[in-house]
Amino acid sequence: MSAGYFPKREKVGLEDLFKGLVTASHILHREDVLDAYGHISVRSPDNPATFWMPCNISPALISTPEDLIEYNVEDATPVEKSSKSGYLERHIHSEIYKRFPAINSVVHSHCSDVLPYCVSGVPLKATIHMAGFLGNNVPVWDAASHYPSGSKHDLLVRDSTLGASLSAAFKPATSAGFLYSKVRSALPTQIAGNPPDPSREPDHAVVLLQGHGFVTVAHGIEEAVYQAIYTREAAKAQTAALTIRNAHFGHIVEGKIDVEGGGKIKSAKVKAEGDLKYLKEGEAHDAWESMQETVARPWALWCRQVEVSPLYKNECPGGED
């Protein structure tokens, strides 16, 4: 990881954090993970009970430390009462930080490549080794049954009740499939010098929101950005593969023919040919374990790309090494 961000706790300073958070917002916009909406946050290196995220402006336009707000993990209230207006859905971040003490960065996105998997009933799975963190069981959380009495049913995670329900989806009571925590628990010592406790780690790196988008969690800014971008890439690859499969292969109808009924097929089932070859659980685990060691490579490229673009301005001073 680059100096200054989690999980290299001993090198983290607020100046590094601010610069990295602004850069991350720009990268996620450039890579079509965020548009005018969506956000990334990071836990404070000085106080694990607070976190930082941008104020209520488009991610591409964030540029200075004044555009960032510090919030309390406990209730998502701003530490400074005079802070700028913030994002309504900051409860997504606060409740995840509250439930998972080792998680240091969260991304929420409405990426159009991922949205079909939030509404179609088709499960999003790891189709490519770059997205092994997805495993073969990405949960879909539906806000419908969790709205507090009298609240708006607008799918927005606008309070702690909805945020807590969403955060619980990262570690369901009964977890099946790929356990994200198996890899995460092998990481170096995390915040406050405490080794990660697998029982308090999320089982999933990504959760989809019904009709809304997705959230990914990580131990550092670079990793969160990587996971968000390759969630989009995995969705694109899976959609393309499904389209090609359906166009190329035929469908077989199986059932019994009712001769007396005019030749109709009874109890018919449509069987598709050419099933997709998703990563097996062990393959997803091993692929992500390998890719973790390379996250600094794309991060350096993405940083340079937004640095030379005239659209993005990062006026946060850099910290000392």
Enumerate the H helices of 100-202 as residue ranges.
160-168, 180-184
Whether the upstream peptide bond of residue 7 has omega within 30° of 0, thus cis, is yes
Enumerate the H helices of 73-177 as residue ranges.
90-99, 160-168
DSSP lists the bridge partners of residue 209 as 141, 213
The DSSP symbol for 261 reads T
What is the DSSP pairing of strand 140-141 with strand 206-209? parallel
In whole angstroms, give the CA distance from residue 287 to residue 229: 16
Among 219, 270, 235, smallest CA distance to 101 is for 219
Q: Strands (DSSP E) along 79-145, which ranges?
A: 105-109, 140-141
Among 4, 175, 205, 232, smallest CA distance to 100 is for 205
Choose the catalytic residue: 74, 80, 89, 222.
89
Q: What is the DSSP string of 227-239?
A: HHHHHHHHHHHHH
Contact 107, 33 (CB under 8 A): yes
CA end-to-end distance (rounded Å), the chain: 13
In whole angstroms, give the CA distance from residue 143 to residue 157: 8
Q: Strands (DSSP E) along 146-240, which ranges?
A: 206-209, 213-218
Whether the upstream peptide bond of residue 65 has omega within 30° of 0, thus cis, is no
Q: Strands (DSSP E) along 27-141, which ranges?
A: 39-43, 50-54, 68-72, 105-109, 140-141
Q: Is 89 a catalytic residue?
A: yes
Residues catalogued as catalytic? 89
